[in-house]
Structure 1
């Protein structure tokens, strides 16, 4: 009966968290998100009511604790709102059917717009008036940075902050200027969301602490009621996970603020089981000024998270136990993890443990090592060169919007092919398939990166490969024979 009451309380708390924190970020229904999150708990509750708490659940129920967080993440991303929609969702207007928006400008204002394009920087030929977009086509006569800066200043002098000026290339490679409405948040004082961020941080700290107790096998409700101090045993895992997530998202936020990109406070996503969280994110509410800013926005978060995860993982592996390799060993079996499932993890494990780790052995991970592995997984997921993921920003900045979209489509195919080799990548493949291919353009989406950023981008993609690809058998035999 106690377990059932705890499940009900957990369900109420989970619904409150989703409705207050996540529903403003996605169009997906709150009830559907809640049902996905609570499916493992509901299944476990039914199991306990029928078979008793001391009977271990079967593999299907345990599998739900792994599958549902990933399905939950996919559903959130599938219905993810645009920045303008996020602001509208927060404001919750009372009108059900607002009138259609007026045209961006009247015909007589086009003469003023044409004067914003000096022939020496951009020879304007045609202006296409759409309902909420003005497409200005012509020929670029100066560098993209000079042309965009000049036209942007002229538009601001004529129309104030009414428009965002975007310079980008069409599919045929021709550069065009696009004017779109500039809709800043109507209530900027409520846009940052630091109070909600703090609440979700505390909730995620609690769920990751409970997850830490589960991972070390010390969670017993009777013992927890008698000795609440045993929660301390889960702090090793929860504090390291929260450190990795906080550093990564705060670096995202700091980079956005450095380039004057509007951004909300980090949103932490608590999950009341398995790893205790499915990560965190920062909602970007305005476009990047150029591709350099877009690149830095995409790189700094994963890089900071990886730099924090690396020493945590090294320490955790050093305090893990070496166990025999069995048929149940795998990359996501923390009691019998096969480090050869990742090139980077294999290299680090062998470097830390030396001769005590052989080819036919696995690792029983310390809880801190599990946090480090989660940091690597989140780093790899964010570096995937698809859509609005950090990796999508990176390849967009390196190769342009259309080139980045093509690379994203290739990445989807490769991850789907990997799912046939290693089933752990199946859910990753599903997440990537339903994610939009193209990233939102920067204001100056033509100016290219410098050589240093190009090298850093290639290194980021190399890091992604080292994390997700398994160690080839030939190299494994050479590495673990020493």
Structure 2
């Protein structure tokens, strides 16, 4: 038996000695490091030590540490790599004001307001123009959809006692104004139930928000395209493809998505809902750390790797079909599916999230998962957008 005693805050060494042989115990500030060698495989080790450290308020992981010492005879510095259980304190609360999140949110408010001036054809001559026109409507539409999506993940992370950050919004001064929002998962996922719940909460919450935003936008008055824009040779016209779900909302509300009169356009709030639907579909692509990757990993276990292997091929095939068969320009939707083909290669290589325990899901969660993927397909359109010449 090991003679080492853990710090008072950590679990006793004897509690996991059958799974990990401890040779040395270190304390680096709040971090605990148990240097030694595993006596079982990594999965069995994690299942043994994870609940023990969690009870004491730590997240633990198996890693390697590099030690060095000087040879007394030759004077040469020798390096040695050894295994170690590294335990960091768990922090489920928000310590102080999350300034990074706040600043990124404020910047994203500005960039989405800027994007709103583009969609509402409002001249931007001073910073005050960002808040005196209608651009705030587009900003609220986009931020509410993205924010509710990420808060869905955050709330279920807290429910399952998994450490996660508040949403980080990503500001980009383009015609959308943002690249979306993310939360950072800092704790291990305990089981497949938790992985499923956290993964499914974002798409479902964001989808509800996108439906509400789209419906409100459809019921709002359309906007007028200025004659100066219609007659400008430099005007860029983007034609959006609407997914089946948005067409269904158009039918239910009795409001059109397009107008025969080129001087009339749908209210930009509808485009905010369109962004939410498109983001929902992209997040439900079943690969890696995407929400769809979490769902398929929770539903199919390690067989999810086989599903992920086909995803890039499907996206490249779609891009090829649009380019060679439909004859679309590369800058249109061909480019976006090619881009996502490469993105999913990287995500597949990085792998899925791995829960500590692998008990299968119950039938209720399996049904919710299948329904979620079906709803995701209703948010899909093969040609999300394309450039057209003139109004």
> What's the secondary structure of 1:264's corresponding residue?
coil
Q: In structure 2, what is the Cα distance between the partners aligned to 1:358 and 1:162? A: 53
TM-score, length-scaled by structure 1: 0.56
Deviations 1:304-341 (A, max 9, x none): 01101102112223447599xxxxxxxxx9864343xx
Q: In structure 1, what is the Cα distance between the partners aligned to 2:14 and 2:246? A: 59
Contact 1:213 1:231 in 2 (8 A): no
* Equivalent residue number for residue 249 of structure 1: 150
> What's the secondary structure of 2:40's corresponding residue?
strand
Alignment of 1:55-66 (within 5 A): none
* Equivalent residue number for residue 459 of structure 1: 371
- Tell whether 2:291 aligns with 1:390: yes
Give unpaired runs (5+ residues) of structure 2.
Answer: 1-12, 21-34, 63-82, 225-235, 323-333, 384-391
Give unpaired runs (5+ residues) of structure 1.
Answer: 1-108, 117-130, 141-146, 166-178, 324-332, 472-482
Deviations 1:68-105 (A, max 9, x none): xxxxxxxxxxxxxxxxxxxxxxxxxxxxxxxxxxxxxx
Deviates more, 1:417-426 or 1:266-275: 417-426
* Equivalent residue number for residue 105 of structure 2: 201
> What's the secondary structure of 2:370's corresponding residue?
helix
TM-score, length-scaled by structure 2: 0.68
Please report how far the alpha carbon of residue 462 of structure 1 lies from its aligned counterpart in structure 2 after TM superposition.
1.1
> What's the secondary structure of 2:133's corresponding residue?
helix
Q: In structure 1, what is the Cα distance between the partners aligned to 2:100 and 2:150? A: 15
* Equivalent residue number for residue 428 of structure 1: 340
With over 3 angstroms needed to count, the CA separation of the structure-2 counterparts of 1:334 and 1:306, relative to structure 1, is: farther
* Equivalent residue number for residue 276 of structure 1: 177
* Equivalent residue number for residue 10 of structure 2: none
CA RMSD, aligned part only?
A: 4.1
1:412 aligns with one of 312, 318, 337: 312
* Equivalent residue number for residue 42 of structure 1: none
Contact 1:350 1:357 in 2 (8 A): no
Alignment of 1:26-425 (within 5 A): 113-114=17-18, 134=38, 136-137=40-41, 151-152=48-49, 163=60, 181-184=85-88, 194-221=98-125, 224=126, 228=129, 231-319=132-220, 336-339=239-242, 342-353=243-254, 364-400=265-301, 402-422=302-322, 423=334, 424-425=336-337
Deviates more, 1:194-203 or 1:428-437: 428-437
Please report how far the alpha carbon of residue 242 of structure 1 lies from its aligned counterpart in structure 2 after TM superposition.
1.2
Instruction: Decide which structure has greater strand share.
Output: 2
With over 3 angstroms needed to count, the CA separation of the structure-2 counterparts of 1:334 and 1:314, relative to structure 1, is: farther
Deviations 1:407-429 (A, max 9, x none): 12222221221112342422222
With over 3 angstroms needed to count, the CA separation of the structure-2 counterparts of 1:455 and 1:373, relative to structure 1, is: same
Please report how far the alpha carbon of residue 292 of structure 1 lies from its aligned counterpart in structure 2 after TM superposition.
0.3
With over 3 angstroms needed to count, the CA separation of the structure-2 counterparts of 1:282 and 1:154, relative to structure 1, is: closer
> What's the secondary structure of 2:174's corresponding residue?
coil
Q: In structure 2, what is the Cα distance between the partners aligned to 1:335 and 1:250? A: 31
Q: In structure 1, what is the Cα distance between the partners aligned to 2:60 and 2:270? A: 49
Instruction: Decide which structure has greater helix share.
Output: 1
With over 3 angstroms needed to count, the CA separation of the structure-2 counterparts of 1:322 and 1:447, relative to structure 1, is: same
How many residue pairs end up in the alignment? 313
Contact 2:113 2:130 in 1 (8 A): no
Q: In structure 1, what is the Cα distance between the partners aligned to 2:204 and 2:60? A: 34
